Structure 1
Amino acid sequence: MYIFKKQNKRTLSVDSTIADVRYAGILIAVIGISLFAASCGSVSRMKKPEPEAPPEDITFPDANARGERIEQGVASWYGPKFHGKLTANGEQYDMNRLTAAHRTLPFNSVVKVTNLDNGRSVMVRINDRGPFAKNRIIDLSKKAAREIRMIGAGTAPVALSLMNDSLDNSRTTDLKTATYTVQLGSFMERSRAFEHARKIRGSRVETIRQPEETLYRVYYGTFIDKQEAQQKEQELQQRGFRGYVKQIQN
């Protein structure tokens, strides 16, 4: 009798273990399917910009072109310390290319920088943000700084002329002050963008036309203070709406 009970308990224990394993397997499968479905839904909704390669179709105009004079102030330059690191638009910084950082100008703007001390000029492409030091309006690559002979001094008074665009239709109202927003979604379908925006009072949908596709992005607010934008992002996240703060480019 004792042996029978012992075997019965063992049999029940094995059966219970098998049932537990089966239940755990089903539970893991259900969780996996749920997570996969959630990720599939969120990828199209919330995707940060991917690093981009320098555009091949941007060419500098003739050196004698005048452009539109937009700003005057002090230029600085940055070199080896940042060489190889990512710029604000996702490229790798190359100090030996003619690029520059500006607080607000749209990425890939071509700007003519004229050193007011010696009259020398250089064309640069905007691919980064800065400078953040007070009273400076542009940060040049090492090669650009060498072109206008300001390497030794470190800074120089310059005039900026916009060469390949116009600020007439730009959202940039103050070249010295960056403007931010909270991006809450990016969709390929217009209807889905508006469906998501309706859930968030105060949000808006903007059409973003790119060379290969048109996207519909959901944004919230316009902020001059980046910390205020980040605070609003956190408030929205607490309400279940994921997003991130980005600078309005143009």
Structure 2
Amino acid sequence: MPEPTVVITRPRAQADALAQAVAGLGRQAVVLPLLDIAPLDDPAPLRAALARLPAYALVAFVSPNAVEAAFAHIAAWPAGVPIGVVGEGSRAALARHGVTGANATIHSPPDPALSDSEHLLARLDLAALAGKRVLIVRGESGRELMADTLRAAGALVETVAAYRRSVPALTDGLARQLSSLLAGQNDWIITSSEALRGLAALVRQLDPGAGLSRLQEQHLIVPHARIAETARALGCTRVTLTGSGDARLLAAL
């Protein structure tokens, strides 16, 4: 019996490298982006914030998308400006732009299985940021925990949007692809709770009667406990929690 197809649900710009690595394991990979990432209509506020980088005591990127969108406007990272990231994907995105622990201070959660804002905040010296400027680079919307916690510690927090994200519409082509994938048993790599909720909405729209139950039968591979909680809240029981980073996702396969 052939092994299940591996469905990679990341935004398309981040999916190809993982798909190639999956193919290197001898597995068939299908790229099915569940979040569309688009540039902002007006990038002026982002450019203005990035022009002030040397003034910040910390710049936090909430995702690899935030890194990629910001570095479209950054020629070189200013020396001495610390960076905060929540997962290995964002570290890898920084490395693609030449920013590593060898030439910059990068704060991140110490445990890859706990790659989120809460554990990044626990890693930071919040008292040292009191009265200092902090920039959070994110999508147009998102959780406010990081900003609220930093403000409560006395930091002067600014947030700036770097990109727009949305769940794709259920086109005829996407409907056919989803129907085919849900007809069998596959391994779905889900790296965002928002994407998983969007997938659940799409399968309900595709098949109001049985769509969700067909999703509940699939095997989900997720890098973070919050995504696993979202999966279980949707009734999915075949969930593998890996920790952050492509290496752990591939090891789970």
Tell me, yes or no, whether TM beats 0.5. no
Normalising by the residue count of structure 1, what TM-score does the alignment of the two structures yield?
0.27
Normalising by the residue count of structure 2, what TM-score does the alignment of the two structures yield?
0.27
Say which one has the larger Rg.
Answer: 1
> Which structure has more helix as a fraction of its residues?
2
